[in-house]
Protein backbone atom coordinates (compact mmCIF):
# COMPACT_ATOMS: atom_id res chain seq x y z
CA UNK A 1 0.00 0.00 0.00
CA UNK A 2 1.06 3.58 -0.64
CA UNK A 3 -0.24 6.84 0.80
CA UNK A 4 -1.38 9.33 -1.84
CA UNK A 5 -3.20 12.66 -2.11
CA UNK A 6 -5.13 14.41 -4.86
CA UNK A 7 -3.73 17.78 -5.90
CA UNK A 8 -5.29 20.38 -8.16
CA UNK A 9 -3.85 23.62 -9.47
CA UNK A 10 -7.02 25.55 -10.29
CA UNK A 11 -10.21 26.11 -8.30
CA UNK A 12 -12.14 23.62 -10.41
CA UNK A 13 -9.35 21.94 -12.28
CA UNK A 14 -8.55 18.28 -12.73
CA UNK A 15 -7.18 16.44 -9.70
CA UNK A 16 -3.80 14.69 -10.01
CA UNK A 17 -2.47 11.95 -7.75
CA UNK A 18 0.84 12.28 -5.90
CA UNK A 19 2.56 10.26 -3.22
CA UNK A 20 2.86 12.04 0.13
CA UNK A 21 6.33 10.61 0.70
CA UNK A 22 5.50 10.49 4.40
CA UNK A 23 4.84 14.24 4.58
CA UNK A 24 2.08 15.35 6.95
CA UNK A 25 -0.44 17.23 4.81
CA UNK A 26 -4.21 17.54 5.00
CA UNK A 27 -7.18 18.58 2.92
CA UNK A 28 -6.88 22.20 1.76
CA UNK A 29 -3.13 22.44 2.43
CA UNK A 30 -0.81 23.88 -0.19
CA UNK A 31 1.97 21.64 -1.50
CA UNK A 32 4.88 22.02 -3.89
CA UNK A 33 5.07 19.38 -6.62
CA UNK A 34 6.94 18.67 -9.85
CA UNK A 35 4.76 18.65 -12.99
CA UNK A 36 5.27 18.54 -16.74
CA UNK A 37 5.24 22.36 -16.68
CA UNK A 38 7.86 22.53 -13.95
CA UNK A 39 7.58 23.15 -10.22
CA UNK A 40 4.05 24.14 -9.21
CA UNK A 41 2.10 24.98 -6.07
CA UNK A 42 -1.20 23.13 -5.75
CA UNK A 43 -3.93 22.52 -3.21
CA UNK A 44 -4.72 19.17 -1.62
CA UNK A 45 -8.20 18.33 -2.96
CA UNK A 46 -8.25 14.70 -1.76
CA UNK A 47 -7.09 13.92 1.76
CA UNK A 48 -4.27 11.39 2.28
CA UNK A 49 -5.46 7.81 1.74
CA UNK A 50 -3.98 4.40 1.08
CA UNK A 51 -4.16 2.66 -2.30
CA UNK A 52 -2.69 -0.57 -3.61
CA UNK A 53 0.48 -0.01 -5.62
CA UNK A 54 -0.95 -2.18 -8.40
CA UNK A 55 -3.53 0.57 -9.08
CA UNK A 56 -0.78 3.04 -9.99
CA UNK A 57 -0.52 2.96 -13.79
CA UNK A 58 2.35 5.40 -14.27
CA UNK A 59 5.36 6.24 -12.11
CA UNK A 60 3.89 8.14 -9.18
CA UNK A 61 5.62 11.40 -8.32
CA UNK A 62 6.14 12.42 -4.71
CA UNK A 63 5.36 15.91 -3.46
CA UNK A 64 8.45 18.01 -2.88
CA UNK A 65 7.20 19.55 0.37
CA UNK A 66 4.31 21.22 2.10
CA UNK A 67 4.20 24.88 1.06
CA UNK A 68 6.02 27.26 3.37
CA UNK A 69 5.25 30.91 4.11
CA UNK A 70 7.92 31.85 1.59
CA UNK A 71 6.25 29.66 -1.04
CA UNK A 72 2.87 31.31 -0.42
CA UNK A 73 4.47 34.76 -0.78
CA UNK A 74 5.93 33.59 -4.11
CA UNK A 75 2.45 32.52 -5.25
CA UNK A 76 1.04 35.93 -4.33
CA UNK A 77 3.87 37.69 -6.18
CA UNK A 78 3.15 35.53 -9.23
CA UNK A 79 -0.53 36.59 -9.15
CA UNK A 80 0.65 40.21 -9.31
CA UNK A 81 2.96 39.37 -12.22
CA UNK A 82 0.05 37.75 -14.03
CA UNK A 83 -2.10 40.88 -13.64
CA UNK A 84 0.71 43.05 -14.98
CA UNK A 85 1.45 40.64 -17.82
CA UNK A 86 -2.23 40.66 -18.81
CA UNK A 87 -2.23 44.45 -19.24
CA UNK A 88 1.06 44.45 -21.14
CA UNK A 89 -0.06 41.65 -23.47
CA UNK A 90 -3.33 43.44 -24.29
CA UNK A 91 -1.34 46.54 -25.24
CA UNK A 92 0.98 44.50 -27.47
CA UNK A 93 -1.95 42.76 -29.14
CA UNK A 94 -3.32 46.16 -30.13
CA UNK A 95 0.11 47.26 -31.26
CA UNK A 96 0.50 44.24 -33.54
CA UNK A 97 -3.15 44.52 -34.68
CA UNK A 98 -3.87 40.88 -33.97
CA UNK A 99 -7.43 39.56 -34.16
CA UNK A 100 -7.42 37.72 -30.83
CA UNK A 101 -8.92 38.09 -27.36
CA UNK A 102 -6.73 37.57 -24.30
CA UNK A 103 -8.52 35.49 -21.65
CA UNK A 104 -6.07 34.65 -18.89
CA UNK A 105 -2.39 34.58 -17.90
CA UNK A 106 -0.57 32.03 -15.76
CA UNK A 107 2.89 32.29 -14.26
CA UNK A 108 4.52 29.03 -13.21
CA UNK A 109 5.59 28.79 -9.59
CA UNK A 110 9.29 28.69 -10.45
CA UNK A 111 8.97 31.77 -12.70
CA UNK A 112 10.26 29.84 -15.69
CA UNK A 113 7.28 30.45 -17.96
CA UNK A 114 4.35 32.77 -18.66
CA UNK A 115 1.33 31.19 -20.35
CA UNK A 116 -1.16 33.40 -22.21
CA UNK A 117 -4.57 31.94 -23.06
CA UNK A 118 -6.57 33.53 -25.87
CA UNK A 119 -9.53 32.97 -28.17
CA UNK A 120 -9.70 33.75 -31.88
CA UNK A 121 -11.99 32.93 -34.79
CA UNK A 122 -9.08 31.90 -36.97
CA UNK A 123 -5.43 30.96 -36.66
CA UNK A 124 -3.25 33.82 -35.50
CA UNK A 125 0.39 34.46 -36.42
CA UNK A 126 1.66 35.59 -33.02
CA UNK A 127 5.38 35.01 -33.54
CA UNK A 128 6.24 38.71 -33.31
CA UNK A 129 4.05 39.05 -30.23
CA UNK A 130 5.95 36.22 -28.52
CA UNK A 131 9.29 37.86 -29.30
CA UNK A 132 7.99 41.15 -27.96
CA UNK A 133 6.74 39.60 -24.70
CA UNK A 134 9.92 37.56 -24.22
CA UNK A 135 11.97 40.74 -24.49
CA UNK A 136 9.83 42.44 -21.86
CA UNK A 137 9.52 39.69 -19.26
CA UNK A 138 12.84 37.87 -19.86
CA UNK A 139 11.29 34.44 -19.46
CA UNK A 140 9.81 31.70 -21.60
CA UNK A 141 6.54 32.73 -23.27
CA UNK A 142 3.80 30.36 -24.42
CA UNK A 143 0.53 31.32 -26.14
CA UNK A 144 -2.35 28.85 -26.20
CA UNK A 145 -5.53 29.22 -28.22
CA UNK A 146 -8.57 27.90 -26.34
CA UNK A 147 -12.24 27.35 -27.20
CA UNK A 148 -15.26 29.31 -25.98
CA UNK A 149 -16.15 26.62 -23.43
CA UNK A 150 -12.68 26.91 -21.87
CA UNK A 151 -13.04 30.68 -21.84
CA UNK A 152 -16.30 30.42 -19.89
CA UNK A 153 -14.67 27.99 -17.45
CA UNK A 154 -11.79 30.38 -16.82
CA UNK A 155 -13.80 33.60 -16.50
CA UNK A 156 -16.96 32.27 -14.85
CA UNK A 157 -20.31 34.03 -14.68
CA UNK A 158 -24.02 33.33 -14.19
CA UNK A 159 -26.05 30.97 -16.36
CA UNK A 160 -29.67 31.44 -17.50
CA UNK A 161 -30.68 29.51 -14.34
CA UNK A 162 -29.24 32.31 -12.21
CA UNK A 163 -26.51 30.11 -10.75
CA UNK A 164 -22.73 30.23 -11.38
CA UNK A 165 -21.52 28.29 -14.42
CA UNK A 166 -21.33 24.54 -13.82
CA UNK A 167 -17.94 24.45 -15.57
CA UNK A 168 -16.60 27.04 -13.15
CA UNK A 169 -17.98 25.47 -9.97
CA UNK A 170 -17.86 21.67 -10.20
CA UNK A 171 -17.36 20.28 -13.73
CA UNK A 172 -13.72 19.27 -14.00
CA UNK A 173 -14.04 18.06 -17.61
CA UNK A 174 -16.42 18.88 -20.45
CA UNK A 175 -18.76 16.09 -21.56
CA UNK A 176 -20.07 15.77 -25.16
CA UNK A 177 -23.48 17.42 -25.55
CA UNK A 178 -25.66 16.97 -28.66
CA UNK A 179 -28.87 18.31 -30.19
CA UNK A 180 -30.34 14.82 -29.78
CA UNK A 181 -30.34 15.37 -26.02
CA UNK A 182 -32.49 18.49 -26.38
CA UNK A 183 -34.87 16.58 -28.68
CA UNK A 184 -35.10 13.62 -26.30
CA UNK A 185 -35.97 15.95 -23.45
CA UNK A 186 -38.67 17.73 -25.45
CA UNK A 187 -36.95 21.10 -25.21
CA UNK A 188 -37.40 24.00 -27.58
CA UNK A 189 -34.90 23.75 -30.42
CA UNK A 190 -34.51 27.51 -30.51
CA UNK A 191 -30.70 28.05 -30.29
CA UNK A 192 -31.15 30.90 -27.80
CA UNK A 193 -33.09 28.62 -25.43
CA UNK A 194 -30.63 25.72 -25.20
CA UNK A 195 -27.26 27.44 -25.52
CA UNK A 196 -25.17 28.75 -22.66
CA UNK A 197 -23.34 32.04 -22.32
CA UNK A 198 -20.40 30.49 -24.17
CA UNK A 199 -22.60 30.05 -27.25
CA UNK A 200 -22.52 26.25 -27.16
CA UNK A 201 -25.13 23.77 -25.95
CA UNK A 202 -25.68 23.96 -22.20
CA UNK A 203 -23.70 21.35 -20.27
CA UNK A 204 -26.74 20.63 -18.07
CA UNK A 205 -28.46 18.88 -20.99
CA UNK A 206 -26.22 15.94 -20.13
CA UNK A 207 -27.39 15.60 -16.53
CA UNK A 208 -30.79 13.96 -17.17
CA UNK A 209 -29.98 12.23 -20.45
CA UNK A 210 -29.45 8.80 -18.87
CA UNK A 211 -32.96 8.95 -17.42
CA UNK A 212 -34.53 9.86 -20.77
CA UNK A 213 -32.64 7.16 -22.65
CA UNK A 214 -33.72 4.56 -20.10
CA UNK A 215 -37.38 5.63 -20.19
CA UNK A 216 -37.53 5.79 -23.99
CA UNK A 217 -36.65 2.08 -24.14
CA UNK A 218 -39.87 1.15 -22.30
CA UNK A 219 -42.20 3.93 -23.49
CA UNK A 220 -44.27 3.91 -26.73
CA UNK A 221 -43.23 6.64 -29.15
CA UNK A 222 -45.72 9.18 -30.54
CA UNK A 223 -47.59 7.52 -33.39
CA UNK A 224 -47.48 4.05 -31.84
CA UNK A 225 -50.61 1.87 -31.86
CA UNK A 226 -51.45 0.92 -28.26
CA UNK A 227 -54.13 -0.52 -26.03
CA UNK A 228 -55.50 1.15 -22.92
CA UNK A 229 -58.02 0.06 -20.27
CA UNK A 230 -60.73 1.86 -22.28
CA UNK A 231 -59.83 1.58 -25.96
CA UNK A 232 -57.17 1.07 -28.60
CA UNK A 233 -55.63 4.06 -30.26
CA UNK A 234 -52.58 6.05 -31.24
CA UNK A 235 -50.12 7.82 -28.96
CA UNK A 236 -50.25 11.58 -29.45
CA UNK A 237 -47.95 12.78 -26.70
CA UNK A 238 -45.59 11.31 -24.09
CA UNK A 239 -44.47 12.95 -20.86
CA UNK A 240 -41.57 10.94 -19.47
CA UNK A 241 -41.28 13.01 -16.30
CA UNK A 242 -44.88 12.41 -15.16
CA UNK A 243 -45.14 8.97 -16.85
CA UNK A 244 -48.32 10.08 -18.59
CA UNK A 245 -49.31 9.21 -22.18
CA UNK A 246 -52.02 10.91 -24.22
CA UNK A 247 -53.83 8.50 -26.54
CA UNK A 248 -56.31 9.25 -29.37
CA UNK A 249 -59.09 6.60 -29.78
CA UNK A 250 -58.73 4.55 -32.96
CA UNK A 251 -62.38 4.58 -34.13
CA UNK A 252 -64.03 7.47 -32.40
CA UNK A 253 -64.42 11.20 -32.54
CA UNK A 254 -63.92 11.33 -28.80
CA UNK A 255 -61.09 13.55 -27.59
CA UNK A 256 -57.75 12.00 -26.56
CA UNK A 257 -57.38 10.76 -22.99
CA UNK A 258 -54.36 10.69 -20.71
CA UNK A 259 -53.30 7.41 -19.08
CA UNK A 260 -50.55 6.27 -16.76
CA UNK A 261 -47.67 4.67 -18.61
CA UNK A 262 -48.23 1.35 -16.80
CA UNK A 263 -51.76 1.14 -18.24
CA UNK A 264 -50.68 1.62 -21.86
CA UNK A 265 -49.49 -1.45 -23.76
CA UNK A 266 -47.68 -1.32 -27.08
CA UNK A 267 -49.23 -3.16 -30.05
CA UNK A 268 -47.28 -1.66 -32.91
CA UNK A 269 -44.31 0.67 -32.73
CA UNK A 270 -44.68 4.05 -34.40
CA UNK A 271 -42.03 6.25 -35.87
CA UNK A 272 -41.04 9.36 -34.04
CA UNK A 273 -41.79 12.33 -36.21
CA UNK A 274 -39.04 14.91 -36.17
CA UNK A 275 -40.26 18.27 -37.32
CA UNK A 276 -38.28 20.10 -39.94
CA UNK A 277 -36.17 22.66 -38.20
CA UNK A 278 -35.40 25.97 -39.91
CA UNK A 279 -32.50 26.45 -37.47
CA UNK A 280 -30.79 23.16 -38.37
CA UNK A 281 -27.45 24.77 -39.27
CA UNK A 282 -27.48 27.07 -36.25
CA UNK A 283 -28.26 24.10 -34.01
CA UNK A 284 -25.42 22.06 -35.50
CA UNK A 285 -22.99 24.90 -34.79
CA UNK A 286 -23.91 24.74 -31.10
CA UNK A 287 -22.45 21.26 -30.61
How, if at all, do strands 140-145 and 113-119 pair? parallel
Whether residue 273 has pLDDT greater than 50: no
Whether residue 117 has pLDDT greater than 70: yes
pLDDT at 116: 96
- State the average pLDDT over residues 42-47: 91
Better-scored residue on pLDDT, 33 or 273: 33
pLDDT confidence bin for 272, thresholds 50/70/90: low
Query: Is there a contact between 149 and 200 (Cβ–Cβ < 8 Å)?
Result: yes
Whether residue 271 has pLDDT greater than 80: no
Could you list the beta-strand ranges (E) of the chain.
Answer: 2-8, 16-19, 30-35, 38-51, 65-66, 101-107, 113-119, 140-145, 225-227, 232-239, 244-249, 257-260, 265-268
- State the average pLDDT over residues 170-196: 89
Whether residue 285 has pLDDT greater than 80: no
* C-alpha span between 32 and 63 (Å, rounded): 6
pLDDT confidence bin for 276, thresholds 50/70/90: very low
Identify which of 259, 255, 271 has the alpha carbon closest to the alpha carbon of residue 223.
271
**pTM: predicted TM-score of the whole model, two decimal places:** 0.76
Whether residue 155 has pLDDT greater than 60: yes
Tens of pLDDT, residue by residue over 50-79, are 888 777 777 788 999 999 999 999 999 999
Whether residue 173 has pLDDT greater than 90: no
- State the average pLDDT over residues 136-147: 93
Domains of the chain: 2-67 (no CATH), 73-146 (3.30.300), 154-211+280-286 (no CATH), 222-268 (2.30.30)
Tens of pLDDT, residue by residue over 191-233, are 888 999 998 999 999 999 999 999 989 999 999 999 999 999 9
Whether residue 87 has pLDDT greater than 60: yes
Whether residue 274 has pLDDT greater than 60: no
Query: Is there a contact between 220 and 271 (Cβ–Cβ < 8 Å)?
Result: no
The mean pLDDT of the chain is 89
Whether residue 161 has pLDDT greater than 80: yes
- CA 66 from centre of chain: 30
Amino acid sequence: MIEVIGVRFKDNGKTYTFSTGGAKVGLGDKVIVETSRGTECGEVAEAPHQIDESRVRTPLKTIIRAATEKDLRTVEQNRQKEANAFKVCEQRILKHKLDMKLVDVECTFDNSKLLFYFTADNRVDFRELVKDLAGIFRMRIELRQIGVRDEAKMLGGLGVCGRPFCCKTFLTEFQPVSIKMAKDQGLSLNPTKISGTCGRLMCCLKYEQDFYEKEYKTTPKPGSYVSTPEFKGYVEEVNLITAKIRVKPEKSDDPPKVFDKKDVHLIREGRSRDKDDKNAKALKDLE
